[in-house]
Amino acid sequence: MAQPADTFSSYDAIGNREDLSDIIFDITPTDTPFLSSIAKRSASSTKVEWQTDALAAASATNAVIEGDDATTDASTATTRLFNYTQISDKVARVTGTQRAVNSAGRGDEMAYQIMKRGAELKRDMESSLLANNAQVLGNDTTARETGGIGSWIATNDDLGGSGASPTGDGSDARTDGTQRAFAEADLKTVLAACWDAGGEPDTIMLGSFNKQAASAFSGGATRTVEAGEKQLVNAIDVYVGDFGQLAIVPNRFQRARDGLVLQMDMWELATLRDIQTVSLAKTGDTEREQLIVEYALCSKNEAASGMVADLTTS
């Protein structure tokens, strides 16, 4: 059926106002489970240092003769560890015209861009802290880098074929091995090793693929249906093993091939400069704002944590 003659429709109109929502829809993930959970402290130098120690091995033959002279036991020095601070930044630049016009969804374009850059900076920090990169001292032409978690976990790791552990002091990255499926037996091996070393891990951190793999472990083989709510429970968010209870936390920004077994209170973020906004010099009809942060990862004792490394990711 055709439109009647001389009917004026929206197709003919020139002055109709647009219908632009005043809400900006953004589902980009901003959660940073590791950064948000670990302890925080202030740093006072670009080289952040701490010490670790260990007791002598337990002896089942510690028996002395009655009345004998006491024998002095050997003492060992503490281990002094360090990491370097890393500078990360994001810069927003907006023209004077754009700040003056009426924008939908935000009152001021610069404020909106700063908000976005702040979320991006936290995501970058999470990725750097969980990376497999060695610390870098840096110089006038090379940026300092903080050693990521992959360069610290060495005592309790389970590797794929040809994989090699790092030294465990942040100075070198681990060597990736042949990828294999995430197996509960490998997780149990790492949990036992952590416990034997004195650790009490409380968190298993995984990428999306291996979070689903963990939900298929035999411990969760019996699935339940909540009859009243008609819900099938088909996930494991808490793993109860022989050595305690651990939360299973998905993390979008860790290496997907790493299964991290963490005692969270043994990791710390040392901040030399917390996230701050700095106005940069004006060179024309634009304004620039820099968000900058300087931080280091502190592994207070890597033997408390572990890793099932070299996992398949698809």
pLDDT, tens digit, 9 for 90 and up, residues 54-100: 999 999 999 999 999 999 999 999 999 999 999 999 999 999 999 99
Domain that holds residue 266: 33-51+78-308
Q: In sequence order, what are the residues at sequence separation of 6 or more whose Cβ sits closer than 8 angstroms to the Cβ of residue 103?
A: 109, 112
pLDDT recorded at residue 26: 85
Looking at the domain assignment, is residue 20 inside a domain? no
Q: How many domains does the chain have?
A: 1
pLDDT recorded at residue 225: 55
Looking at the domain assignment, is residue 62 inside a domain? no
Decide: pTM greater than 0.85.
yes
Looking at the domain assignment, is residue 212 inside a domain? yes
pLDDT recorded at residue 226: 57
pLDDT recorded at residue 230: 64
Distance, in Å, from the CA atom of 55 to the CA atom of 299, rounded to the nearest integer, reads: 19
pLDDT recorded at residue 313: 98
pLDDT recorded at residue 233: 67
C-alpha distances out from residue 259 to 84, 180, 291, Å: 25, 12, 31
Phi-psi label, residue 37: left if phi above 0, alpha if psi -120 to 50, beta otherwise: alpha
Kindly give the parts of the chain with pLDDT less than 50.
none
Looking at the domain assignment, is residue 24 inside a domain? no
Looking at the domain assignment, is residue 27 inside a domain? no
Looking at the domain assignment, is residue 8 inside a domain? no
pLDDT recorded at residue 28: 87
Looking at the domain assignment, is residue 64 inside a domain? no
C-alpha distances out from residue 54 to 1, 80, 155, 164, 265, Å: 88, 12, 14, 24, 17
Looking at the domain assignment, is residue 38 inside a domain? yes
**What CATH code is carried by the domain that includes residue 298?**
3.90.1690
